[in-house]
A and B are shown apart, each in its own frame.
Chain A
Amino acid sequence: MKRLTLDSFRTLAESLKGEQRADRGYRASIMLCGGTGCIAGRSPKIRDAFREELRNKWLDKEIRIVLTGCNGFCANGPVLIIQPEDSFYQKVTVADVPAIVEEHFVKRSPVTRLMYKDPASKEQIPLAQDIPFFNRQVLRVLRNKGLIDPENIEDYVAHDGYMAAAKALSEMTSGEIVDEMKRSGLRGRGGAGFPTGLKWEEAAGVSADLKYILCNGDEGDPGAFMDRSVMEGDPHVVLEGMIIGAKAIGSRKGYIYVRAEYPLAVKHLRLAIAHANEYGLLGKDILGTGFDFDIEIYQGAGAFVCGESTALMTSIEGKRGMPRTRPPQSVHKGLFGKPSVLNNVETFANVPLIIRHGADWFKSVGTEKSTGTKVFALSGAVNNIGLIEVPMGTPLREIIFDIGGGIPKGRKFKAVQLGGPSGGCIPEQLLDTPVTFEDIVKTGAIMGSGGMVVMDDLNCMVSVAKFFLEFTADESCGKCTPCRIGTTVLYELVKDITEGRGKEGDLELIEDLSKDIIASSLCGLGQSAPNPVLTTIRYFRDEFEAHIRQKWCPAGVCRELSTFYIAEETCTGCGACARVCAKKAITGEKKKPHSISQELCIQCRSCYQACRFNSVKIGPRSMREDLAVKCVLEETSAAVTAGEE
């Protein structure tokens, strides 16, 4: 391939678009999801099965099978969409492949059993665009999800790829790009929400022989997989955003910092960079405009703190990734001492859209201060687990209940965790909070990078707080004493509460210590580490108090603080609990109240979840002795009665 010039690039784009857009000359494309969830569901094997089946039926010249990036509907994976008609099939297995080929493509009648069923009406919905999970979303960053082959640059170009880069390089000055970005109101999608345009303006104003543009793909928040999906499924959009950023600040060299845990993202980005170089979209004299820019991938090695900008730069320098004091800000003195701009993957993915459609178009969605859309990774106790994109300002309730399909198995919503270890838990009474940077901060949580974990009444909030504190205590880099020691002390205090050693005054001590940690830590990790425990205390104080005073974990998660027993009054003796008990701890005659042997019970909660009559109860630990005594008494009295007979 000869390196393209502006003219030859535009000709190529036109001709690619001329071919039936997505289908590149094929009658149909089977777009099989190759996201992490679906790959775990063996989608590569399904692809191979399709290839073979299509070849056997002499259809391989008409129909192509593509392993795409994450489709987003992870809950029902492996999923596939057949283009151009948009047919959606879910939970596909290798065994379903011959049926799909035979019925859908040969007989041309859809395979109804693999269609999505509306949970309420039980009706089958054949097309993806009619499924509520999809049609309530506004796809901008994820616009190409499931539509392109991430390993094929021409697929991306056929979907208007690199048009914005071509425009920025040939028609716009650095100042014009910065102005457009500033007007768009785009704020950093990594979590803090700093206006991207301002950052670029500052960096553009600094004169230096070398400037760096860096992409933060170190998605460290547990429960977040948005950036991963973008890098895996649409790698070129990241490169295009970086090219535009490079032109704006005058940089010739870029780095993408990717987590080592994301090997597929690394593979796709590597391939994308190689292709872009080949096509003249990276390297020397891009598209003949005289602009030079190179991108290199840097694999992280697993440290949460490296999501912090200065720590990330120290890590690229090959050292322990510890943050440093600011000023000087990275835009003045960053990587290797040179001015550097760091943006998140999702931020870069927004850039080409702003350049191509303009700031006004971008602002047409979202709120005044939080413009555009936001991608969330919805997971936990919610029906439609997956990746979603909604306009800023959408209420949490709509995301969880309309798009997410609510809580499974009729359980009750308890809280939603936003922002990972730096964020907080938002309770039911605040579910109408719109997702914008400002409104989420008011609740005590933060917007974060987009992890959204839903929790139901099976979750213990003290335990959740403990989980995040263990995380931050472990991931604290150790530079600042308040963070290094403080988070460990917080963790130990909360751990004591979950193990029955909590005492009056602990909560006040936690709140007090948290204030000190927030005030005296250098970087965002320490400044936000107490957020999860503070918000859980704020909204679920009664649960903490039950742990401390009654030594009782109402959700039955903390083992030392719970006893499982069956309420005789409501037990119908259906035996559902006994069937699920792996330890055979539940006994009882049919249709008569059952009972749990405290000696055998390992507190796995299976019976609690299996009971449809709410008869399995969770009491404080002290009940255990009472129940054991009662059990002995019953046995003795039974023995006595038997003796009398």
Chain B
Amino acid sequence: MSSRILVIDERMAASGELQRVLTPQGHLVESVCAIGEALENLGLKKYDLIILDVGRSREEDIEFIRSLKTASPETPVILMAHSPSPEQYNRAMELKIDYYIPGYSPAHVLFRTIDRALRKDSDQKHTEADSQGEFSPEMLRKLDSVMARYRNKPGSLIPVLQAAQEIVGYLPPVILKRIAKGMRVSESEVHGVVSFYSYFTMKPRGRHNIRVCLGTACYVKSAEEVVRHLSEGLNVEVGGMTTDKKFSLETVRCLGACGLAPVVVIDKETHGPVNPVKAVDLLKDYV
């Protein structure tokens, strides 16, 4: 599918060039040379991408970006600047510019950035569409009320994340963003905590979650073989989910049920002692 790209350049020369190189790539390129014209076009049509080509750093450029972002907040913007000042760069970033490349970048850099910008856009739409179905308003309301309860308490990010995982089932980026916003911390801090602790998962789990204990007592009783058999039998990697979303397979450190080693926990039911063949048989009850 061809993408509609709007190129804004006051020196026209370069945009002619851009139009020449981008059209063979299958894009529909329109060029304008004034910001006013661009805003007019944006009012009439929908574009997939805007490329803003600016020359020397000027105060107006920032204003351009601001008005572009207001006129069409969802369209990604690539800023090409020929002699950028650090200040311009920082302010562009503050305005949530999507991509930034130097004006004389080689063609492949330009293509890659355009590809990425277009893909990101469609990805985002995709996840948003997903989230519509997957996260009910009920879930989000619950999550918001948990956050409201904890917001002013020091050290409450972890309990909030635990609650969020309980409510949603896992912690996808959309939810992490919401938590960062709600708890007034940076997204990177939230991600840092989520990725540090093994309790948190960013991947969805199957309808039945299989956890194989790999504690010492289970290990010395061949729990590794159990994992191998389950992984082969279900055709799924540890940490993954079967294609039919029925089962997900995980390993855990120690469940403290060493008397039953080796132990497999399916959902909340503990089974043990199991052997590799028996472990696969167990799954029949869950189909």
Binding site for B on A (CB under 8 A): 36-37, 39-41, 74-75, 77, 219-225, 228, 260-262, 298-304, 315-321, 336, 377, 379-381, 385-386, 417, 420, 451, 453, 455, 459, 464, 467, 471, 477, 582, 604-605
Alpha-carbon separation in the docked complex, A582 to B278 (Å): 11
**Cβ contact of B155, chosen from A75, A222, A318, A477, cutoff 8 A:** A318
A40-B260 contact, Cβ under 8 Å, with A223-B217, A379-B217, A464-B220: yes
Q: Is the CB of A36 within 8 A of B257?
A: yes
- Distance between A519 CB and nearest chain B CB, rounded to angstroms: 26
Q: Which residues of A contact B255 (CB under 8 A)?
A: 36, 261
Q: Is the CB of A604 within 8 A of B225?
A: yes
Q: Which residues of A contact B47 (CB under 8 A)?
A: none
Q: Is the CB of B220 within 8 A of A303?
A: no
Please name 15 pairs of A and B residues whose Cβ atoms are closer than 8 Å in the assembled complex, sorted by A. Answer: A36-B255, A40-B270, A41-B260, A74-B258, A222-B215, A261-B253, A261-B256, A300-B199, A318-B155, A319-B157, A320-B193, A336-B155, A381-B220, A453-B216, A453-B258
- Distance between B159 CB and nearest chain A CB, rounded to angstroms: 7
Q: Is the CB of B220 within 8 A of A453?
A: yes
Residues B207-221 near A (CB distance < 8 A): 214-217, 219-221
A377-B154 contact, Cβ under 8 Å, with A40-B272, A260-B199, A467-B219: no
Q: Is the CB of A318 within 8 A of B216?
A: no
A40-B216 contact, Cβ under 8 Å, with A220-B253, A302-B198, A319-B193: no
Q: Flag whether B106 is at the interface (Cβ < 8 A).
A: no
Q: Is the CB of B259 within 8 A of A260?
A: no
Write out, one digit per residue, whether chain B residues 120-149 have a CB within 8 A of any chain A CB (1) or not (0): 000000000000000000000000000000
Q: Flag whether B71 is at the interface (Cβ < 8 A).
A: no
Q: Which residues of B contact A385 (CB under 8 A)?
A: 217, 258-259, 261
Q: How many residues of B contact A (CB 8 A)?
A: 41
Q: Is the CB of B216 within 8 A of A451?
A: yes
Q: Is the CB of A221 within 8 A of B199?
A: no
Alpha-carbon separation in the docked complex, A582 to B259 (Å): 25
- Distance between A312 CB and nearest chain B CB, rounded to angstroms: 12
- Of chain A, the residue at the smallest CB distance from B252 is A261
Binding site for A on B (CB under 8 A): 154-159, 161-162, 189, 192-193, 196-200, 214-217, 219-222, 225, 252-261, 263, 270-272, 276-277
- Of chain A, the residue at the smallest CB distance from B258 is A379
Alpha-carbon separation in the docked complex, A477 to B220 (Å): 26
The residue in B156, B199, B257, B272 that gathers the most chain A C-beta atoms within 10 A of its C-beta is B257
Q: Is the CB of A39 within 8 A of B158?
A: no
Q: Is the CB of B216 within 8 A of A420?
A: yes
Q: Is the CB of B260 within 8 A of A37?
A: yes
Alpha-carbon separation in the docked complex, A316 to B161 (Å): 13
Contacts A385-B217, A464-B220, A582-B277 supplied; 10 other A-B pairs, CB < 8 Å: A223-B258, A225-B258, A261-B254, A261-B255, A299-B158, A301-B161, A319-B157, A336-B154, A451-B216, A455-B220
- Distance between B38 CB and nearest chain A CB, rounded to angstroms: 45
Top 4 closest pairs, chain A to chain B, by CB: A74-B259, A40-B270, A301-B197, A225-B256
- Distance between B211 CB and nearest chain A CB, rounded to angstroms: 10
- Distance between B192 CB and nearest chain A CB, rounded to angstroms: 5
Alpha-carbon separation in the docked complex, A453 to B223 (Å): 15
A318-B256 contact, Cβ under 8 Å, with A36-B270, A380-B216, A604-B276: no
The residue in B162, B219, B263, B276 that gathers the most chain A C-beta atoms within 10 A of its C-beta is B219
**Cβ contact of A386, chosen from B162, B216, B259, cutoff 8 A:** B259
Alpha-carbon separation in the docked complex, A100 to B149 (Å): 50
